[in-house]
Amino acid sequence: MSPFAFASLRRGARTWAIGAVHGGAAHLIALHAAIRPKLEPEDRLVYLGNLMGYGPEVAATIDEALRFRREFLARPFAFPHDFMFLRGGQEEIWQKLFELQFSVNPAEILQWMVDHGVAATIEAYGGKPQAAFSAARQGPVALSRWTQEIRSAQRKHAGHQEYLSALRRCARTHDGAILFVSAGVDPNVPLNAQDDALWWNTQGFDRMVAPFGGFRRIVRGLDPGRRGIIERDFAISVDAGTGFGEGVAAVCLAAHGEVVDRIVA
């Protein structure tokens, strides 16, 4: 992994981390409302990926995240590197969707994507999964036309393409004390070789029994079991099940990784 894959947060006392949202716009609005009065001047904020997928309000979720970014950065002495969006599995699936026409078996890949939540994102931009399957059966030209239509529909939503272009693989605090990832890490693999494990390797969290890569704590935002906020010696999981009828979770961490606040909305 090249150095630019990291997002380095600016020096600050505390960092808020928001877990998977999965199209749960109403929960995210409530979470932002709960965070707002708790913000302190030097706070930082990281979304741990997976704003998209599964839930019924994907486009509205991204709109709300972008709105809150503007509000957050409008505070006195706030800067762009105080606020980060990470790539999650849903964002990876969405971007791979636009490459289906180059696949040898696009229908099978599309079925896997639908089974893993992409249908809600397709529908958020006015598309139909059934139309995608039809295009896949017709061949690369029809599939290319369909993906272009979805891409064009997405671009009509102000800021959504820019959001996808700004996603980072992971983020770390300025001093390297805390690493923020979407799903987890493989504790047996160096960080610069993790690749897509950062948004797919959820099993690594439960195997984290020692510090990883010199970080005091790893914070991840996706838990297949949706067990809420789990705090362990070297890792923290933040996923309350948004998009599956449950709330969205966030934690606030002090400089060395201690949890000083937690919210589920």
pLDDT band at 1 (very low <50, low <70, confident <90, very high): very low
The pLDDT of residue 195 is 84
Average pLDDT over residues 17-21: 97
Query: Of 18-27, 36-45, 242-251, where does mean pLDDT reach its minimum?
Result: 242-251
pLDDT for residue 250 is more than 90: yes
List phi, psi (to 5°) of 263. Answer: -140, 140
Between the CA of residue 160 and those of 51, 90, 157, 163, 203, what are the distances in Å? 11, 14, 6, 5, 30
The pTM is what? 0.94
DSSP state of 212: B
Domains within the chain, CATH numbers bracketed:
3-88+167-264 (3.60.21.10), 92-155 (no CATH)
CA distance 65 to 258: 25
For residue 86, what are its two tokens? 């990470």
Arithmetic mean of pLDDT, 64-90: 96
| Residue 38, number of CB atoms within 10 A of its CB | 14
CB atoms within 10 A of CB 76: 5
Q: Which of 102, 110, 146, 111 is nearest to 126 (CA)?
A: 146
The secondary structure element, H or E, covering residue 260 is: strand 259-264
Distance CA(32)–CA(19), nearest Å, equals 13
Radius of gyration of the chain (CA): 18
Q: Is the pLDDT of residue 73 over 70?
A: yes
- Residue 57 phi/psi, 5-degree rounding, is -130, 55
Say which amino acid occupies 195: D
pLDDT of residue 204: 86
The whole-angstrom separation of Cα 205 and Cα 136 is 36
- State the CB neighbour count (10 A cutoff) for residue 108: 11
Structure tokens at 4: 């630019």
Residue 4 pLDDT level (bands cut at 50, 70, 90): very low
* Between 56 and 93, residue with greater pLDDT: 93
pLDDT digits (tens, 9 = 90+) for 186-199: 988 999 888 888 99
Residue 239 three-state SS: strand
